[in-house]
């Protein structure tokens, strides 16, 4: 799964990297090296703008928006369900009621510096529980990870029609089974969208009925040349936040060999 990640780039840098033409941000989101579920995050999407009469243009435009991490389906009675919807499994995303409508027309990219996963070592605590070591998984070339996502727009029934905040924009990150080196750290990993496939993935007109073709636009993280290395356990506390959380630390190997910092 993907349950924590880092996002420290400015909206201007993200707009340039992801070729955004229409930033829709009221303010910049502060840099975070410990993004947690329900936090405000950046997402890249394509939407057809409306004119003054409310009519949509034919051509979608690439936008950068601030969303809450944890998808709230349009049919949800309240927003609390979002905290359990931070990831969507590739294997079932087109079938699950919570995700299938968003998968059909509201696909997005969630940019990240990298993400964290916890590896279960052979060491034990005083109570006999396995010691878990966090790893930071990031690109080998310093570019952003373009994590495949979905977004939804939920109407809060408790808000009046003229309330500026009556609509909540939320997102989720698509994951798949992890194998080989990344599978040793965690059994799930995010799916990434490579630059040459981003336009087709983001375009809401790309038909979702060709499931193999649509999912074929995505790549498992381990296939894109990532670096993984151990970092401080301080990242386990959401109160901790700073660039030191993504700094590599030494790690002694287990009897069966902990994964070390490496290019995957």
The one catalytic residue in 2, 108, 152, 171 is 2
Q: How many CB atoms lie within 10 A of CB 17?
A: 15
**Burial zone of 111 (CB within 10 Å; 0-12 exposed, 13-18 middle, 19+ buried):** buried
To which H or E segment does residue 104 belong? helix 100-105
Write the DSSP string, 120-139.
EEEEE-TTSPEEEEEEEEEE
State how far the Cα of 140 lies from the Cα of 210, in Å rounded to an integer. Answer: 32
CB 262 within 8 A of CB 181: yes
The one catalytic residue in 46, 108, 117, 152 is 117
Quick check: helix, strand or coil at residue 223?
helix
Please indicate whether residue 2 is annotated as part of the active site.
yes
Please indicate whether residue 59 is annotated as part of the active site.
no
State how far the Cα of 224 lies from the Cα of 232, in Å rounded to an integer. Answer: 25
The structure tokens 């301080």 sit at 234
The structure tokens 């060491």 sit at 123
**Reduced to 3 DSSP states, what percent helix, strand and coil does the chain have, rounded to the nearest 5?**
20, 35, 45
CB 193 within 8 A of CB 201: yes
Just list the catalytic residues.
Answer: 2, 117
């Amino acid at each position: 799964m993907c349950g924590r990640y880092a996002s420290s780039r400015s909206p201007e840098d993200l707009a340039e990297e992801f070729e955004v033409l229409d930033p829709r941000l009221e303010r910049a989101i502060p840099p975070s090296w410990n993004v947690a579920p329900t936090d405000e995050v950046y997402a890249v999407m394509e939407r057809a703008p409306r004119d003054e009469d409310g009519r949509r243009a034919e051509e979608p435009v690439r936008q950068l928006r601030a969303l809450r991490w944890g998808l709230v389906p349009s049919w949800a009675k309240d927003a609390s369900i979002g905290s359990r919807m931070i990831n969507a499994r590739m294997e079932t995303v087109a079938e699950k009621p919570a995700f299938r409508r968003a998968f059909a027309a509201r696909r997005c990219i969630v940019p990240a510096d990298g993400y964290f996963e916890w590896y279960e070592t052979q060491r034990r605590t005083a109570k006999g529980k396995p010691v878990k070591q966090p790893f930071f998984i990031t690109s080998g070339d310093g570019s952003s990870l373009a994590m495949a996502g979905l977004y939804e727009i939920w109407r809060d029934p408790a808000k009046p029609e003229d309330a500026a905040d009556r609509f909540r924009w939320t997102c989720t990150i698509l994951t798949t089974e992890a194998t080989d080196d990344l599978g040793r750290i965690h059994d799930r990993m995010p799916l990434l969208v490579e630059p040459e496939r981003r336009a087709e993935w983001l375009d809401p007109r790309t038909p979702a009925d060709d499931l193999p073709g649509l999912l074929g636009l995505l790549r498992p993280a381990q296939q894109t040349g990532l670096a993984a290395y151990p970092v401080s356990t301080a990242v386990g506390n959401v109160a901790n936040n700073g660039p030191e959380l993504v700094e590599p630390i030494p790690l002694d190997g287990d009897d069966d060999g902990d994964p070390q910092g490496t290019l995957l």
